[in-house]
A and B are shown apart, each in its own frame.
Chain A
């Protein structure tokens, strides 16, 4: 991987947990397995490590205000904490948001996301993972590593790598 460094000419402002421009991510994968089999893999919100190869460990936690949480230890180092916002096993979907703000671990100051298993033709399924996120530094002159591009790359890598592995796991078990 080549990282092109651009000399920052303005000092970045402080990172906030939010910012001016949210971005969309929308990743879908078709899987030759039943929706039920796929949901059996991903339906446990807390256990992302079960199917996501970038997550070394995931632990359930609960918080008075944020509700059900998952603490993800990334293979690249550091932790990310997600809070569950919606959970509907009958529709095979859940939504969550980032609760912590450590942009060094993941250069995204905040995100919300939803993952859904949808039935497809011939007893197969598709999995759609969508989200809304903000760059790491929501000031108007973010440094390269906390820019929109860095956030988009991090989110896209995370979603695509997860879905690729989910497909592989589900199809080999199927």
Chain B
């Protein structure tokens, strides 16, 4: 069984293991999902189409997003009200709302699509939840104020960015038992796993740098300086590029993953936060929290192509296949 935090990983798995579960993909178009915290909605943008984004009304103030491996279910956390919304991607509606006894923040979906993982900003735990029953199966303690959550499907490990402990906690995805605690920079917030290079990247908000962790040895292999107040990080599907949003600079840093050299600093909207690559390394997207827009980037040309208006306060992004009703 593999642990797949998003659709991109599932695509990679499909290539490597010939998983048949993606046969349900209705078309080649990708969908970009955007959690707009202040507008309490998730925007759904059909890429390659010039149509207006669809807005999915959710509970109050959604923050983090995760898509099931088959792209059919989207999960979002609502830290202020202790809820997790389960959105049906085909109908564009919230089909269920799971209550959670705390402040759910980061989220990832297990490979079977039957379990999700969330971390709790105030209780300092990571929880494994059965989607069908909504029950918490098990929990494990992490550092203070865990924010971003990433999963390594191969070794079945979870990584949380423990913002107030300046560390990353590593937990076993089945038992949530402690595997390791890794000191990183100051105030780690966003975290992502790159299956191609088997590395974990952590953006440290207060030390303006990126910690690079070897996902096998769990050692810090490098720390790279980025721009001011880095709040989002993503790795390209082929692993070659890293994108970091610099919130105080209104820009993103495009980084070569092997040399960790900054290839370009691209101006985007105001207070950029969540970032993601498209299903190829050619495009990338940035949630501009203050501007209420999504920047569409041409990665090869290192430039912003356009901005798309979305609901107020966009924070996080997820990319998946278009699912027909």
Q: A interface vs B, CB < 8 Å?
A: 13, 16-24, 26, 65-66, 85-86, 95-97, 112, 114, 130, 132, 138-140
Contact = CB atoms under 8 A, between A and B. Distances in A.
Given A16-B145, A20-B61, A65-B207, A86 B248 contact: yes
A86 B79 CA distance: 30
Contacts of B228: 85-86, 95
A15 to B, nearest CB: 11
B247 A112 contact: yes
Task: Give the top 6 A-B pairs by smallest Cβ distance, nearest first.
Answer: A20-B79, A85-B228, A85-B248, A95-B248, A20-B80, A21-B61
Interface string B52-83: 00000000010100000000000000011110
Contacts of A139: 103, 122
B237 interface: no
Contact of A112 (B103, B189, B248): B248
Interface residues of B, number: 34
Contacts of A132: 247, 271, 289-290
Contacts of B33: none
Contacts of B121: 16, 19-20, 138
Per DSSP, chain B at the interface is loop
14 contacts: A16-B164, A17-B163, A17-B187, A21-B38, A22-B289, A26-B290, A85-B229, A85-B248, A86-B228, A112-B229, A114-B270, A132-B290, A140-B103, A140-B122
B2 interface: no
A17 B79 CA distance: 16
Contact of A20 (B63, B164, B206, B207): B63
B122 A114 contact: no
B207 A24 contact: no
